[in-house]
């Protein structure tokens, strides 16, 4: 197996993700949770809702903000030049998705009662 063409692993049999991939995994994890916080802030604070709506619709503003956060954090974390095990990356992705989704679900479930 020629590992020189693989950019996501260090060598054959290694499950280490390179610094860039690791950085963007961390960026996703943080952004997934921040996204939930933004939803809560937008729902509870009219000024945040209105600020995000300045681009046309609040969901468009929300989406732009989340994308900017993701790419900004991805660049920052990637610049730290730290590798990550593939299993750690999967854990980050799963847990941050569950936490972010859980925050939003819990918020709206509480709102029902």
Round to whole Å and give the CA distance between 47 and 93.
31
Is the predicted pLDDT of residue 69 greater than 50, yes or no? yes
Q: pLDDT tens for residues 25-37?
A: 999 999 999 999 9
Identify the pLDDT of residue 10.
53
- Check residue 113 and give its pLDDT: 83
The residues near 59 (Cβ < 8 Å, ≥ 6 apart) are 52
* Average pLDDT score, the chain: 90
Give the whole-angstrom CA distance, residue 18 versus residue 20. Answer: 6
Summarize pLDDT for 37-68 with one digit per residue, the tens. Answer: 999 999 999 999 999 999 999 999 999 999 99
pLDDT of residue 5: 44
């Amino acid at each position: 197996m020629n590992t020189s063409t693989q950019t996501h692993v260090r060598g054959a049999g290694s499950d280490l993700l390179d610094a860039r991939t690791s950085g963007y995994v961390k960026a996703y994890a943080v952004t997934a949770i921040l996204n939930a916080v933004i939803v809560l802030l937008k729902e509870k604070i009219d000024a945040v809702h209105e600020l995000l709506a300045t681009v046309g619709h609040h969901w468009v503003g929300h989406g732009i903000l989340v994308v900017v956060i993701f790419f900004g954090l991805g660049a920052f974390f990637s610049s730290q030049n730290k590798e990550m095990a593939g299993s750690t990356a999967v854990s980050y992705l799963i847990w941050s998705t569950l936490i972010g989704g859980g925050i939003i679900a819990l918020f709206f479930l509480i709102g029902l009662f």
